[in-house]
Structure 1
Amino acid sequence: MRRVVVVVPFISITQQNAQVYRDMLDPRSEAEGEPVVLEHHSSVELDDEGNGVWSRLAAENWDAPFVVTTTVQLFQSLFDRKPSAMRKLHRLAGSVIVLDEVQALPDRLLLPILSVLRGLVEHFGVSVVLVSATQPEFWSMPRLEGLERRGVVSDVARLFRELHRVRYEWRMDVGVTWESIAEEIADAGEQVLAIVNTTRDAALLHRMLTERCEGRVRHLSTRMTAGHRQEGITSIRKDLKEGLPVRVVSTSLIEAGVDVDFPWVYRAWAPAESLQQAAGRCNRDGRLPEGVTVVFRAQDGGQPKDPSYTAALEATSEFFGPGLAFPDDLDALASYYRQRYAYQVVGGEGMGSHIEASRQALDFPQVAKDFQMIADQYSQPVVVVRCEEDRAAMEADVAALRRPYPCGPEVLRRLQPHMAALPRHEVHAALSCGLAEPVVGDLVLWCGSYDEERGLDPFEPEDRAGYLF
């Protein structure tokens, strides 16, 4: 095969995995040849010293033997119609595409994604490897009917039994509240990870645990800037490695592929694959006879409003819970996926079928318009100046974006580590009361407070209480 393209859903995993591949595959010095591994996504810096020229040229058309990228980069290119986005596509012919954490592909685009992958396999000599601990039932869908598939692991059930490391416990009673969960987490031990479904719940539980626990309680959510989150994950790993007390409250951003190992994990009720992915952060390295993953449903807990998420949650309730299966039951997981897809495909419509219709009609402008890996109807990017030493450079980049003529992609790339995300209604309210300023498109510059633990805290009483809740 001509090259390997490793595709992952989240930038945090991309950076983590790319470094491992570099350590294995890249030459030790310039005398040994050019680099092998190209890391290409929205936040990678392509003009670093050393391999900057090679990285910039290779990123334009993926002219490298081993590419590590994101699902956004791959699929937005496959469904785009602009030469700048598509000039890399010929490099996919004769390649191996490894789709890591494949369960994270969005249901609302699943039919066109599977269709285009099948086209690559049947017409362009591509091998596609679907990688996940919670393998979706893609072959139950008509887009893959009749396509050959081969299991890389011959006996998955045996592998699951041999790698058993976690005991599940349920907290699904009517009386479960954030207060009762906070009390339990505070007493569980000094190394505990709690994963919740919304940024509001994360901020609330973090405040409760900070009041109840000695030492620092860490917080991770998209209300923190990308750089702030990465600093937090690095610090958490260091504390875990050194055996120090570390309690963490996070949204789902930590649960898929992030290499952390906690003896106790608490996971708010969520779709089945999220429950099992969260358990993958529990006793990950097998240092304990058995870790404990507690699945709870707080009566005042929030859930995302996305229709695909709602369908997944409804299907989860049918197969998992007290008296039903645990999340690592492979038969129940397969039935769950089939039911989840059935809820979303009604009369041949749903899951991106309208995009497939536009593809078949060769209406590529409409395909490019409708196919958006990042659903932006709920949140909006916010640039935050955390450190005064960064202010001058960031203000120069913001000024460049505001100019009437276009600037290069390196400007947005430099700002990406300084971006957080807020719900659109909060951004509109902030703009109306002077706590944010428009930059370009839907990007805004934050002018309000920023909490060094929780970022753009939804419960901050100072300058935002009047418009958030």
Structure 2
Amino acid sequence: MVENKKDDPVCRSTSSLEGRLVAHSPGHQGVWHWYEDHARGTGELARRFAEPWGGGELAYRLGRDHDIGKGSCAWQEGLVEEATTGRKVRRPSHKDAGAFLFAQAARQHPVLTPCAGVIEGHHTGLSAWSELGVRLKGLMRDSSEVDEAISRVAEVMPEILDGTCPAAPNWLNPRDKTSVEMLVRMTYSAVVDADRLDTVAHFRPGARLRQNVDMTELWERYENGRQEAIAERQRRKEPSWLDKLREDVYQEAIETAAGEPGVYRLHLPTGAGKTFAGGGFALRHAALHGLRRVVVAVPFVSITEQNAAVYRGLLDPERGPRAVLEHHSAVNFETADRRASRSLDASGNVRRDQNRTRLNRWAKLAAENWDAPFIVTTTVRLIESLFGNSPSATRRLHRLANSVIVLDEVQALPDTLLTPILSGLRELVEHYGVTLVLSSATQPELAALNPWQSGLPQRNIVANPAPLFNRLRRVRYEWRTAPDVTLGDIAAEAAEHDQALMVVNGTKDASRVHKMWLGDREENPGVLHLSTRMTGGHRRETIQTAKQRLEASLDTLLVSTSLIEAGVDLDFPRGYRARSLPESEQQAAGRINREGHRPTEDSVMVIFEPRDGLQAQMIYNRCGIAAASRRFGEELADPDDLDTLRSYYQHRYRLQTGRSSTDPNGATGEAIEALRGKLDYPEVARRMRMIDNEHSVAVVIIRSQLHQSDWHAAQDAIDQLRRGVPTPETYRTLQDHMASIPQRELEMAISAGHTVEIAGDLHEWTGPYHPQRGIEPPM
């Protein structure tokens, strides 16, 4: 154990500050952030965040000791010089001292030793244990480079040398390496969020933590809002048989909400009121069981936009803090910091981008942390939080404890990642107080996969969904799979009808079809286009336009990528879907005769296979394609046949799974699960990316068509990122103005001068933006 070396010479910085250590430079009021205030403040917050899973004392210790390395003279003098001169100064790393001290104490409970990585990575991200373990062993042999910092901090906080180790949560099995891995993740999240919040509170004394919301009150607000919406709808038109069916479904979901926490399945056909039933079940269940948050995760941004609007209308008060947070955008600030660190000159000063580095660091402090009671996010953001290793991605993870997670359109989870996803979700259910809702019209057979094969019961929210599917079968399928079918053929056939939806497999195909329909015209109000190359606001406007035209019986042709297939409330009389997987085809069919006002025989969904379009096997799971080709098609089953769907999923998973959950020969992520057991956080994060870099870059576009107030709000948010101190609200404002393009296109745009950096890897798009199609794909 390190001795308290009171006879060491006092460094210049502590002399000038009356012997006190500092954690951060003075805030707006000129007051230094004293080390002991930040250490204890971070520890207390981390304790509060980790108490739901029995990790409060562990999180407190790690939070209290996370900055011990700042006690060194070199670090203190560097901060004082930086604060007094305004010049960026290279300071020594401060991550090793606290990690070393915790690893020493953890010899009493070796299973907790990997938690030293929480301190070591609180700025840079969780490291692989294979590397961190070597580093800690080196410090155990020779601790001279951390002794000074520990000694100086002990002078103001002698408790750091008490040598005790907090106990592990009583449920932790030391032999279950993935449980240890998840405990490190959750504790890391609690400490990182606490550190960021305590730092922000210093620089912004008025900043306050959001108070916990009474979930009973939120549930009552939801139910009252729903009743008002129903009454308003009934004032406009008589209730239909479908309205009655949806009400029955909703009431059964509310009754089931009294069941014990665990895993539930919400298996309903499209149009049966899944959004309302899922939200009602989650809020009622949270209120009855004392849970603190509802998180709804959906696969497509378009669904977050529509669902968030529905939930906001029911839950957000006219005045006061908003209850609903929509989060789907992400900015990588760690990448920006690494670029900045490489630009330091030989003397340790930043060459040109000092201001940019400072702003990126402020931007990290404001990264989204899910501090609202009702979150609507994407599955990508949820999985990034669960399996990422960077501070900005992981700081919100602890908010999932004691929450209801609704995985909407659960069939969209990628097969290649199913084993670690299911294993991680099981951890949340069994040890972190989570109730998980699997919501879909095409429920996958997840119990057939190893992580869920035993000991994890799944209960149905609606006990017997099969009759609902029979009653709500509203389309007739036709098939166009001859070798000579083209996109032009199908586009021409669709254009023969007054109203038709065409769903294709990629943005290039969507752009081509839209141009075919326009012909020589620049625009046509009845010809619409939808893809992620359009901003969120633009997509919402297009969906609203389509809905209004359909309700007014106006000519409407809409071509879309798969983003329309779930959660988008449109009702076309006829549809065309490029061959994909049966669950996708059934979801597309959910936009046809959605309200059941037309005879089923007249409501046609055409499945076509264009020889000149993007082929299904290029973008969809190949084992899924193989399993589907034997079961669905002309003279075979239709995509809404429940028994055939069940057989299809089982066959699809059998084609891919290995002999065990860690079999590297499996194709459902077994090798990633093995990496989790090795605590290789960076590699797990790399492999768990749900969207390939070719499709994962968001850019901000301020469209000229925006209302003046929206234009100014967006511009103010960009300016705040570039010059000021952003908040989470800054990013929430910009989400409506973001579109997605491939990484390679962003790099080309940067070279061509069509983008301007905002913060981190987020850029503003200044290149061409088509008023109907958004950022055009290169042909």
TM-score for the superposition, normalised by structure 1: 0.83
Structure-2 residue corresponding to 1:157? 466
Structure 1 residue 120: Cα displacement: 1.9
SS at match of 2:621: helix
Structure-2 residue corresponding to 1:338? 650
Q: Aligned partners of 1:126, 1:439: CA distance in 2, in Å?
A: 36
Structure-1 residue corresponding to 2:587? 277
Structure 1 residue 445: Cα displacement: 4.1
Q: Aligned partners of 1:63, 1:433: CA distance in 2, in Å?
A: 40
The partner residue of 1:288 within 585, 589, 598 is: 598
Q: How does 1:81-230 map to 2 (within 5 A)?
A: 81=389, 85-86=393-394, 88-146=396-454, 147-187=456-496, 189-211=497-519, 216-230=526-540
SS at match of 1:319: coil
Structure-2 residue corresponding to 1:313? 625
Instruction: Please say which of residues 429-438 and 222-231 is displaced more in the overlay.
Output: 429-438
Q: Cα distance 1:112–1:182, how it changes in 2: closer, same or farther (>3 A)?
A: same
Structure 1: gaps spanning 5 or more residues: 45-55, 459-467
Kept in 2: contact 1:40–1:69 (CA 8 A): yes
Structure 1 residue 42: Cα displacement: 3.5
Structure 1 residue 247: Cα displacement: 1.1
Give the counterpart letter for 1:77 in structure 2. S
Structure 1 residue 373: Cα displacement: 3.4
Give the counterpart letter for 2:604 in structure 1. V
Kept in 1: contact 2:486–2:610 (CA 8 A): yes
Structure 1 residue 77: Cα displacement: 2.2
Confirm whether residue 455 of structure 1 aligns to residue 763 of structure 2: no
Give the greater-gyration-radius structure (CA).
2
Give the counterpart letter for 1:289 in structure 2. P
Confirm whether residue 264 of structure 1 aligns to residue 574 of structure 2: yes
Give the counterpart letter for 1:174 in structure 2. P
Q: Cα distance 1:344–1:249, how it changes in 2: closer, same or farther (>3 A)?
A: same
Q: Deviations over 1:298-323 (max 9, x none)?
A: 11111377675333333322221112
Q: Deviations over 1:360-393 (max 9, x none)?
A: 2233344334332333234533333421868887
Structure-1 residue corresponding to 2:684? 367
Give the counterpart letter for 2:671 in structure 1. H
Q: Aligned partners of 1:313, 1:423: CA distance in 2, in Å?
A: 25
Instruction: Please say which of residues 387-396 and 202-211 is displaced more in the overlay.
Output: 387-396
Structure 1 residue 69: Cα displacement: 3.2
Kept in 2: contact 1:11–1:41 (CA 8 A): no
Q: Cα distance 1:208–1:62, how it changes in 2: closer, same or farther (>3 A)?
A: same
Kept in 2: contact 1:107–1:308 (CA 8 A): no
Give the counterpart letter for 1:449 in structure 2. P
SS at match of 1:377: helix
Q: Which has the higher contact order (CA 8 A, sep 6+)?
A: 1
Structure 1 residue 239: Cα displacement: 1.7
Kindly tell me the number of residue pairs found equivalent between the two proteins.
441
The partner residue of 2:552 within 242, 261, 283 is: 242
Give the counterpart letter for 1:265 in structure 2. G
**Aligned-residue CA RMSD (Å):** 3.3
Structure 1 residue 158: Cα displacement: 2.0
Confirm whether residue 15 of structure 1 aligns to residue 301 of structure 2: no
TM-score for the superposition, normalised by structure 2: 0.52
Kept in 2: contact 1:183–1:212 (CA 8 A): no
SS at match of 2:457: coil
Q: Deviations over 1:178-219 (max 9, x none)?
A: 2221221111x2221110001111011111122399753000
Decide which structure has greater strand share. 1
SS at match of 2:599: coil
Q: Cα distance 1:432–1:11, how it changes in 2: closer, same or farther (>3 A)?
A: closer
Structure 1 residue 437: Cα displacement: 5.2
Q: How does 1:370-381 map to 2 (within 5 A)?
A: 370-381=687-698
Structure 1 residue 326: Cα displacement: 0.6
Give the counterpart letter for 2:438 in structure 1. L
SS at match of 1:135: coil
Decide which structure has greater helix share. 2
Kept in 2: contact 1:198–1:303 (CA 8 A): no
Q: Cα distance 1:91–1:239, how it changes in 2: closer, same or farther (>3 A)?
A: same
Kept in 1: contact 2:589–2:605 (CA 8 A): yes
Q: Cα distance 1:28–1:440, how it changes in 2: closer, same or farther (>3 A)?
A: closer
Q: Aligned partners of 2:434, 2:695: CA distance in 1, in Å?
A: 35
Q: Deviations over 1:283-308 (max 9, x none)?
A: 11111122211111111111377675
Structure 1 residue 125: Cα displacement: 3.4
Instruction: Please say which of residues 167-176 and 342-351 is displaced more in the overlay.
Output: 342-351
Q: Aligned partners of 2:764, 2:493: CA distance in 1, in Å?
A: 39
SS at match of 2:569: coil
Give the counterpart letter for 1:171 in structure 2. R
Structure 1 residue 402: Cα displacement: 6.7
Structure 1 residue 331: Cα displacement: 1.9
Instruction: Please say which of residues 169-178 and 91-100 is displaced more in the overlay.
Output: 91-100
Structure 1 residue 441: Cα displacement: 5.5
Q: Deviations over 1:43-85 (max 9, x none)?
A: 69xxxxxxxxxxx99x745452x44333234332222445665
Q: Aligned partners of 1:338, 1:416: CA distance in 2, in Å?
A: 38
SS at match of 1:122: helix
Structure 1 residue 234: Cα displacement: 1.6
Structure-2 residue corresponding to 1:327? 639
Confirm whether residue 422 of structure 1 aligns to residue 733 of structure 2: no
Q: Cα distance 1:17–1:215, how it changes in 2: closer, same or farther (>3 A)?
A: closer
SS at match of 2:773: coil
Q: Aligned partners of 2:488, 2:384: CA distance in 1, in Å?
A: 43
Q: Aligned partners of 1:432, 1:271: CA distance in 2, in Å?
A: 38
Q: Cα distance 1:416–1:15, how it changes in 2: closer, same or farther (>3 A)?
A: closer
Q: Cα distance 1:247–1:439, how it changes in 2: closer, same or farther (>3 A)?
A: same
Q: How does 1:21-36 map to 2 (within 5 A)?
A: 21-25=311-315
Q: Aligned partners of 1:71, 1:61: CA distance in 2, in Å?
A: 14
Instruction: Please say which of residues 384-393 and 311-320 is displaced more in the overlay.
Output: 384-393
Q: Aligned partners of 1:23, 1:381: CA distance in 2, in Å?
A: 27
Give the counterpart letter for 2:488 in structure 1. E
Structure-1 residue corresponding to 2:132? none
Q: Cα distance 1:77–1:431, how it changes in 2: closer, same or farther (>3 A)?
A: closer
Structure-2 residue corresponding to 1:5? 295
Structure-2 residue corresponding to 1:351? 668
Q: Aligned partners of 2:479, 2:617: CA distance in 1, in Å?
A: 24
